[in-house]
Amino acid sequence: MADTKTKKAKKEKVKVEYDVDNISGLGKKKAPVKVSGGGILKVLILLACEAIFYYAETPAINIHNRGFYMWLIVTLIIISVLFAGSGVATIGKNLKNGDTPGLKQAFKKTGVTLGLAAVTFLVMVIGGIASSKFFNASRYASVIDISEADFATEVPESENVSNIALMDTDSARIIGARAVGSLSDVVSQFEVSENYSTIDLNGAPMKVTSLAYAGFFKYMNNRKTGVPGYVLVDPVKNEAKYIKLEKPMRYVPSAYFNDNLERHVQMKYPTALIDGYHFEIDNDGNPYYICPVMTSHAGLFGAMDVKGIILCDPCTGDCDYMDVADVPNWVDRVYDGDLATQKYNWYGTLSGGYWNSVFGNKGCKVTTDDYGYKVMDGDVYVYTGVTSVNGDESNIGFVLMNSRTGKSKYFPIAGAEEHSAMSAAEGQVQNLGYIASFPSLVNVNGIPTYIMVLKDNAGLVKMYAMVNVEKYNIVATGTTQKEALASYRKLLASEGLIDAKKTASDDTPSADITIATVRYVTTEGETYVYITDAKGDVYKSLFADDETLIFLDEGDKIKVYYAENENGIRTLISYEMK
């Protein structure tokens, strides 16, 4: 009989005792509560789900991260539901046996966890309100490091615009895709990432991006060998080339599982609030990912700005955190263009206080709705115009923001807004239907000037245009940058804005020639003058830029100033009669 009872007892579920009040933190010790093996299973399932969620999403465990609070709240609510479910499941058994303390303790734990969830929610809400511009206008306005500067002295004069990166990202994508299109072993397994970065590579502007796995199955097929290289685009020559690495990249954004770059970096720095993963190469062509780390300057969530970067080697997975002040000079993209313009907008609208930004708008100014990148003095700058908050079609100035250091310079120059200048350039070639890209800002003989490319419907660069900022009816175009600059300087001289002698600089090539032939050729709605000298050299000029060319004839002796072109036909900048 005793043996039968023992066997019966063994078949019952194993029960574990623990101190409820020690877990809930309520202080006073009470009777132990019995938890079945099913309760332990639920806890294990919850922990497994939490681990899976963290691995999949990898949120930053940081008090400045709203996502972290939401994760904590959802977890506490799920725990509350589990406690409540356990209590409801045992109601019948507890009432039958008269064992009500266990039931009360189960619902007490539910209340505690729901209370913690409510407190966490309140912290997030109150923290958000306390971080708002209403309470922190001055902190938002002071995030940017900006000074006023003189354009003519601070921006180097462009004696030759052939080193200016004008290509936009859309054009870079087209050219970059063509660079790997003929490589069957590459294009069948990889694609060119669309996330191009503008960099300064040993003094030359470049655009660069990594190859990416063309889907999950392509990753599985190539995960052991990795990503073999990257694409480098020359925005001046409109050329792209594929660079094959000696050691392939393993940690990239397009990879999965432990090879995923974002997961790899975040798990190495679980508390870092990372904003973006920018691909760059150093001066020796070695690949790196630049991962900006953010912090708040106003409460929990307000006035976010970069405090440092995590530099990740995608080949080895090695990561290194460094403050902004310690970032090496070859790194170009610490501050993204969106963040840089947002910081200026905080400064431009909130410097006079929150209420002024809402009602009075006295002195309030904002950036225009787009921006570009300008390479200057070994650094990459985010460039954009500044206009009043009234949103008219003119700029009151320009701002250049160093994308590595974050330091910014404001130039108080009134003139045409970028899109107005783009429309003026498109109007110059409206018969061709070309579309202007967002311009860059250059200094031509001390005069602020927009320069941009004109593209056809296929996105290919066909011409270049230069537009005077202050007088955007002064528009010059050319099939090359040198040709556009020469035409533009002639227009400036004809308008009396510069001395006619300055259409050519001291180092501009020149020659004394005897004219052999003069021909006028009309192409695509424009008339060009072609002058051939006795040696067979050819000089080309747009007739509308200098109508005095009509007086030139065979046998005339002249001195010409010109610019060399790759096609062998020289662009005529100016001439003098001998």
Local confidence band at 470 (pLDDT 50, 70, 90 cut-offs): very high
What are the phi and psi torsion angles at 143 (to 5°)? -65, -35
Supply the pLDDT for residue 94. Answer: 55
Residues 175 and 283 in one domain: yes
Alpha-carbon distance of 207 to 237, in angstroms, equals 12
Q: Is the pLDDT of residue 119 over 90?
A: yes
Average pLDDT over residues 289-294: 98
Local confidence band at 505 (pLDDT 50, 70, 90 cut-offs): low
Q: Virtual CA dihedral for 84, 90, 94, 95, nearest 10 degrees?
A: 90
Q: Is the pLDDT of residue 69 over 90?
A: yes
Supply the pLDDT for residue 261. Answer: 98
Q: Considering only 54-63, 64-73, 79-88, 337-346, which range has the smallest mean pLDDT?
A: 79-88
Supply the pLDDT for residue 90. Answer: 57
Instruction: Give the three-state DSSP class for 531.
Output: strand
DSSP state of 28: S
Residues 223 and 97 in one domain: no
Choose one of 387, 413, 439: the last residue of a domain. 413
Choose one of 390, 413, 436: the last residue of a domain. 413
Question: Looking at the domain assignment, is residue 374 inside a domain?
Answer: yes
Residues 197 and 328 in one domain: yes
Read off the pLDDT of residues 202-251 as tens digits, 9 standing for 90 and up: 988 999 999 999 999 999 999 999 999 999 999 888 889 999 999 999 99
Choose one of 386, 413, 440: the last residue of a domain. 413
Question: Looking at the domain assignment, is residue 481 inside a domain?
Answer: no
Domain residue limits at 318: 164-334
Handedness of CA 475, 478, 481, 482 (dihedral sign): negative
Alpha-carbon distance of 571 to 161, in angstroms, equals 14
Alpha-carbon distance of 404 to 63, in angstroms, equals 26
Average pLDDT over residues 99-114: 71
Alpha-carbon distance of 572 to 561, in angstroms, equals 6
The more confidently predicted of residues 260 and 236 is 260
Alpha-carbon distance of 575 to 578, in angstroms, equals 9
Supply the pLDDT for residue 304. Answer: 98
Helical axes 133-141 vs 337-350, angle rounded to 10°? 110
In sequence order, the β-bridge partners of residue 190 are 213
Supply the pLDDT for residue 95. Answer: 53
Local confidence band at 82 (pLDDT 50, 70, 90 cut-offs): confident
Local confidence band at 468 (pLDDT 50, 70, 90 cut-offs): very high
Mean pLDDT score of the chain: 87
Local confidence band at 318 (pLDDT 50, 70, 90 cut-offs): very high
In sequence order, the β-bridge partners of residue 453 are 464
Local confidence band at 15 (pLDDT 50, 70, 90 cut-offs): very low
Radius of gyration, CA atoms only, the chain: 33
Local confidence band at 21 (pLDDT 50, 70, 90 cut-offs): very low
Question: Looking at the domain assignment, is residue 421 inside a domain?
Answer: no
Alpha-carbon distance of 560 to 562, in angstroms, equals 6
Q: Considering only 45-54, 92-101, 405-414, which range has the smallest mean pLDDT?
A: 92-101
DSSP state of 265: H
Local confidence band at 45 (pLDDT 50, 70, 90 cut-offs): confident
The answer to whether 473 and 420 are in contact (CB under 8 A) is: no
The more confidently predicted of residues 440 and 346 is 346
Local confidence band at 347 (pLDDT 50, 70, 90 cut-offs): very high
How much of the chain exceeds pLDDT 70, in percent?
87
Residues 183 and 274 in one domain: yes
Supply the pLDDT for residue 496. Answer: 84
Supply the pLDDT for residue 197. Answer: 94
Q: Is the pLDDT of residue 14 over 60?
A: no
Supply the pLDDT for residue 34. Answer: 52
Residues 288 and 372 in one domain: no
The answer to whether 545 and 476 are in contact (CB under 8 A) is: yes
**CATH code for the domain in which residue 519 is found:** 2.40.50.140
Q: How many domains does the chain divide into? A: 4
The answer to whether 306 and 148 are in contact (CB under 8 A) is: no
Q: Is the pLDDT of residue 279 over 60?
A: yes
The more confidently predicted of residues 490 and 268 is 268
Alpha-carbon distance of 314 to 472, in angstroms, equals 46
Residues 225 and 295 in one domain: yes
Residues 52 and 82 in one domain: yes
Q: Is the pLDDT of residue 510 over 60?
A: yes
Alpha-carbon distance of 470 to 141, in angstroms, equals 29
Average pLDDT over residues 75-98: 68
Supply the pLDDT for residue 573. Answer: 81
Q: pTM for the full model?
A: 0.83
Question: Looking at the domain assignment, is residue 420 inside a domain?
Answer: no
Local confidence band at 68 (pLDDT 50, 70, 90 cut-offs): very high
Alpha-carbon distance of 41 to 218, in angstroms, equals 38
Question: Looking at the domain assignment, is residue 51 inside a domain?
Answer: yes
Supply the pLDDT for residue 40. Answer: 81
Question: Looking at the domain assignment, is residue 27 inside a domain?
Answer: yes
In sequence order, the β-bridge partners of residue 383 are 372, 400
Read off the pLDDT of residues 122-138 as tens digits, 9 standing for 90 and up: 999 999 999 999 999 99
Please give the structure tokens belonging to residue 133.
């511009």
The answer to whether 347 and 143 are in contact (CB under 8 A) is: yes
Alpha-carbon distance of 352 to 397, in angstroms, equals 18
Please give the structure tokens belonging to residue 91.
């109601």
Alpha-carbon distance of 372 to 381, in angstroms, equals 8
Angle (nearest 5°) at CA 386 between 380 and 388: 165
Local confidence band at 17 (pLDDT 50, 70, 90 cut-offs): very low
Residues 314 and 361 in one domain: no
Local confidence band at 518 (pLDDT 50, 70, 90 cut-offs): very high
The H or E element containing residue 50 is: helix 37-57
Q: Considering only 32-41, 254-263, 349-358, 553-562, which range has the smallest mean pLDDT?
A: 32-41
Number of H helices, E strands in the chain: 16, 29
Alpha-helical regions (H) of 58-90:
66-89
Residues 353 and 326 in one domain: no
Residues 270 and 322 in one domain: yes
Residues 361 and 298 in one domain: no
Supply the pLDDT for residue 36. Answer: 54
Angle (nearest 5°) at CA 432 between 495 and 486: 35
Question: Looking at the domain assignment, is residue 344 inside a domain?
Answer: yes
Residues 214 and 306 in one domain: yes
- Do the strands 570-577 and 538-542 form a parallel or antiparallel pair, or are they unpaired? parallel
In sequence order, the β-bridge partners of residue 530 are 519, 540
Question: Looking at the domain assignment, is residue 234 inside a domain?
Answer: yes
